[in-house]
């Protein structure tokens, strides 16, 4: 049985699949050529990440396709329900990238609050001639300890973010589509364990009480979750991070909030128009940017490969 990992798969996934008798192809096929390739090569399993789309036309045109796998959490690039209605199994790896996305959130936070992006570029050019001036220019950094982090979407990734926030001495408020309370378990290398309960509250409460807000909800709902009204509820001088999905934040409203001083900073790992983000976002001095790399760590890719392989072998092996 042949598997096409069109957006790649780590060796940790290939090895168990080949050991189970599957043939794994990692050829990158252009979207417009994908249907022909799947049919010509008799592909039974299509594995994608965020680049490749598996829509109705592909599902209809590839009758021998048995499974579509998404290496990651969100499946907005797959017509999931339609695939299932046609007998095509759809899988993803919801647990594999939680830690990597959570760490990216704090990478952006630290970089924004201590002006690391700009200072890292000015120091090589002027550090020897304007050291004192640069020191003064970047002397108004902010600390995370004691601040409140608002988490919108309290699933696996949101909970992983909360763990790191607690480790830094932050307070956590969370909003979710469902109301619940759960313990956040922190385990330390010395064997110590701490359990901190978190109860979800309203979106409005999170926005109005948090110093920094990070979003971890699925996309594909159409209307932005965070628009002009929601941004106006946030504390003046606060920060917003979106490492979830493009379209969750109204980008025009975000730019206006930054320009007015309502927000001090924003961080974006995802965009409405990928892979062609709005130039105004890319050029804005108060936005920390990354090109949709939330799950792009070596460790996460290994976990994704292992999870995909285990599910494929369990279902089709």
Pairing of strands 238-242, 212-215: parallel
pLDDT in tens, 126-182: 999 999 999 999 999 999 999 999 999 999 999 999 999 999 999 999 999 999 999
Distance CA 257, CA 224 (A): 15
218 has a pLDDT exceeding 90 = no
Distance CA 36, CA 48 (A): 17
pLDDT at 176: 97
pLDDT at 317: 81
Distance CA 171, CA 40 (A): 55
**Total domain count for the chain?**
2
- At 1, is the pLDDT very low, low, confident or very high (cuts 50, 70, 90)? very high
pLDDT in tens, 272-293: 999 899 999 999 999 999 999 9
pLDDT in tens, 38-88: 999 999 999 999 889 999 999 999 999 999 999 988 888 999 999 999 999
Residues 204 and 120 both lie in one domain? yes
pLDDT at 221: 64
Continuous segment of H or E residues that includes residue 296: none
Q: Once rounded to an integer, what is the mean pLDDT over residues 99-123?
A: 97
Asked if residues 271 and 244 have their Cβ atoms less than 8 Å apart, the reply is no
Domain hosting 260: range is: 98-289
Closest to 243 in 3D by CA, of 215, 263, 223, 265: 215
Burial environment of residue 136 by CB neighbours within 10 A (0 to 12, 13 to 18, 19 or more) = exposed
Residues 165 and 33 both lie in one domain? no
The residues assigned a catalytic role are: 245, 274, 292
Residues 63 and 174 both lie in one domain? no
Residues 188 and 91 both lie in one domain? no
Residues 132 and 271 both lie in one domain? yes
Task: Answer whether the bond into residue 275 is a cis peptide, omega within 30°.
Answer: yes
pLDDT in tens, 222-244: 789 999 999 999 999 999 999 99
Distance CA 46, CA 62 (A): 11
Residues 206 and 266 both lie in one domain? yes
User: Can you state the angle between helices 98-113 and 298-316, rounded to 10 degrees?
Assistant: 160
Residues 90 and 154 both lie in one domain? no
Residues 36 and 134 both lie in one domain? no
Residues above pLDDT 70, as percent of the chain: 99
Residues 82 and 129 both lie in one domain? no
pLDDT at 222: 74
Residues 166 and 52 both lie in one domain? no
- At 312, is the pLDDT very low, low, confident or very high (cuts 50, 70, 90)? very high
Q: Once rounded to an integer, what is the mean pLDDT over residues 194-209?
A: 98
Residues 25 and 151 both lie in one domain? no
3-state secondary structure of 106: helix
pLDDT at 300: 96
The radius of gyration of the chain from alpha carbons, rounded to an integer in Å, stands at 22
Q: What is the CATH number of the domain that holds 85?
A: 3.40.50.720
pLDDT at 192: 94
247 has a pLDDT exceeding 90 = yes
Residues 176 and 53 both lie in one domain? no
- At 220, is the pLDDT very low, low, confident or very high (cuts 50, 70, 90)? low
Mean pLDDT across the chain: 96
Q: What are the DSSP E strand ranges found in 153-276? A: 171-175, 181-187, 193-201, 212-215, 238-242, 263-268
Q: What are the DSSP E strand ranges found in 179-254? A: 181-187, 193-201, 212-215, 238-242
């Amino acid at each position: 049985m042949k598997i096409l990992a069109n957006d790649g798969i780590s060796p940790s996934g290939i090895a168990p699949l080949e050991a189970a008798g599957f043939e794994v192809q990692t050829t990158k096929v252009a979207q417009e050529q994908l249907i022909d390739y799947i049919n010509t090569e008799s592909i039974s399993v299509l594995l994608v990440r965020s680049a490749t789309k598996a829509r109705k036309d592909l599902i209809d045109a590839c009758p021998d396709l048995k499974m579509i796998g998404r290496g990651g959490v969100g499946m907005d690039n797959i017509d999931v329900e339609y695939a299932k209605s046609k007998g095509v199994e759809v899988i993803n790896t919801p647990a594999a990238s939680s830690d990597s996305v959570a760490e990216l959130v704090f990478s952006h936070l630290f970089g924004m609050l201590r002006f690391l992006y700009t200072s890292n570029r000015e120091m090589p050019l002027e550090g020897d001639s304007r050291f004192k001036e640069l020191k003064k220019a970047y002397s108004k950094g902010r600390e995370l300890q004691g601040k409140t982090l608002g988490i919108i979407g309290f699933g696996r990734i949101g909970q992983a973010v909360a763990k790191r926030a607690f480790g830094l001495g932050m307070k956590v408020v969370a909003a979710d589509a469902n109301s619940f309370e759960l313990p956040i378990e922190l385990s330390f290398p010395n064997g110590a364990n701490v359990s901190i309960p978190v109860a979800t509250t309203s979106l409005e409460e999170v926005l109005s009480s948090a110093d920094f807000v990070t979003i971890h909800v699925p996309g594909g709902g159409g209307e932005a979750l965070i628009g002009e009204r929601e941004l106006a509820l946030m504390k003046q001088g606060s920060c917003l991070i979106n490492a979830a999905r493009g379209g969750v934040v109204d980008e025009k409203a975000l730019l206006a909030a930054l320009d007015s001083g309502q927000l001090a900073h924003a961080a974006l790992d995802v965009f409405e128009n990928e892979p062609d983000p709005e130039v105004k976002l890319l050029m804005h001095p108060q936005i920390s940017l990354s090109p949709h790399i939330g799950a792009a760590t070596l460790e996460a890719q290994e976990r994704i490969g292992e999870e995909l392989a285990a599910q494929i072998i369990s279902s089709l092996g």
